Amino acid sequence: MRVLIIEDDPAIAANLYDFLEAQGHSVDAASDGITGLHLAVTGGFDAIVLDVGLPGMSGGVLCRKLREEAKNDTPVLILTARDTLEDKLEGFARGADDYLVKPFELKEVEARLAALHKRRAGRVARRPLTAGDITFDPHTLSVRFRGVGVTRLSPKCLRLLETLMAEPDRVFSRKELETAVWGDEQETSDTLRSHMHVLRRALAHAGGYDPIENVHGVGYRLVPHEKT
């Protein structure tokens, strides 16, 4: 997962950062609400760990802005010392997905983040996706590009496309795509490369251009509008 930690306590932030990174996650951090909101909106994270008492902007305000103004549905796990029912209800009302009271176990933080990420992935998988000229219905497994059906795509190719379409224009690393499709990182890059080749060829055949860009040394992104 790509996890954003928004926490102003250096010791807590460092413990979370080091633990999650050691578990194989990609982690970024912010120590104030304003920076945290900017990263949350622009960073393409899978989950956010959010403290309530932040300088610059409180965690509650940040969460509300993330939901209502940015229309961002990244799962948010609130970490706070405030443990009353009223505090929890206020956090949920502002858009938080889960709530964990300090002190906490690092393994529980990871487990809750993983559960939120899976839940979000399930929501994305159940709804039809549209990205520019491309539509994908996961129920019927039908893909249309500029109104033309894209045929003969394997389940792995469809999962690749679904992952890219969930966040158009975002650059996905090879590791992220391999984990999304196969469940773990592949020993060689040939598996991803071959499936990506088939997907790009099929899309180009239907729509007249290849909407997937190879970002050298990083990974791939979907650019769903033809460049002029």
For residue 1, the model assigns a pLDDT of 85
Give Cα 159 to chain centroid, integer Å.
15
Please check whether residue 157 is in contact with residue 41, taking contact to mean a CB–CB distance below 8 angstroms. no
What CA–CA distance (Å, rounded) separates 21 from 106?
A: 12
Strands (E), 85-133: 98-101, 129-131
* Predicted TM-score (pTM) of this structure: 0.55
pLDDT category, 184, cuts 50, 70, 90? low
pLDDT per residue as tens digits for the range 103-134? 888 999 999 898 888 776 655 445 789 999 99
- CB-CB neighbours of 150 under 10 Å: 23
Cis bond leading into 103, ω under 30°? yes
pLDDT per residue as tens digits for the range 195-223? 999 999 999 999 999 999 999 888 999 99
Q: Which residues pair with 51 in a beta bridge?
A: 79
Q: What is the DSSP secondary structure assignment for residue 65, as one 8-state letter?
A: I
